[in-house]
Amino acid sequence: MSESEQRARFVAEAKSWLGTPFRDQGDVKGSKGCVDCAMLLVRSAVDSGLLPAFDPRPYPPQWHLHRDEERFLAIVGRLGKEVDRAAIPGDVIVWRVGRCFAHGGIVVENDHVIHAWYRSRAVTISPLHDAELACLQTGRPRPFKLFDLWAGKV
């Protein structure tokens, strides 16, 4: 399967989680299930056959508010390699929230991102440059990192 087909499969798997309620450390799809942003990333990669199964739980849900250790980046680093370029569908984007990088989603078509977000209370699609995601309360750009599941693979 080509990289573009794998990217499409990854995005389609993430979209199959749309509407799943948000709950820290959840990983059950559908209206009666629950998921958080980390497990949405992991389950989308694993369930689409891109990575072998792994479970990063347990992790403290509010670590990013009180500590500097980049626990979320450790999870995302198992998915792919950080890249410095424009986002394309199938990339994983993570934003700094609080003291650490602590929220992420999967880039989909037309500069949108699918993510499990406590504010929307469910898996949703938002514009990649949504003011609340992309900007700090001061209006300055929110720091983000981009990860590519295929970078460096032969």
Higher-pLDDT residue of 131, 13: 13
Cβ-proximal residues to 72 (8 Å cutoff; 6+ apart), any chain: 38, 59, 63, 64, 94, 100, 101, 102, 103, 104
Q: How far is CA 125 from the centre of its chain?
A: 12
Which of the four pLDDT bands, split at 50, 70 and 90, describes residue 134?
confident
61 φ/ψ sector (left φ>0, alpha ψ -120 to 50, else beta): alpha
- The model's pLDDT over 30-50, given as tens digits with 9 standing for 90+, comes to 999 999 999 999 999 999 999
pLDDT of residue 67: 66
pTM: 0.92
pLDDT of residue 114: 97
Residues 150, 6: contact at Cβ < 8 Å?
Answer: yes
Q: Enumerate the domain spans of the chain.
A: 3-148
Taking 60 as the threshold, does the pLDDT of residue 95 lie above it?
yes
Q: Which CATH number fits domain 3-148: 3.40.50.2300, 1.10.645.10, 3.90.1720.10, 3.40.50.1980?
A: 3.90.1720.10
Ramachandran angles phi, psi of 27, nearest 5°: -155, 40
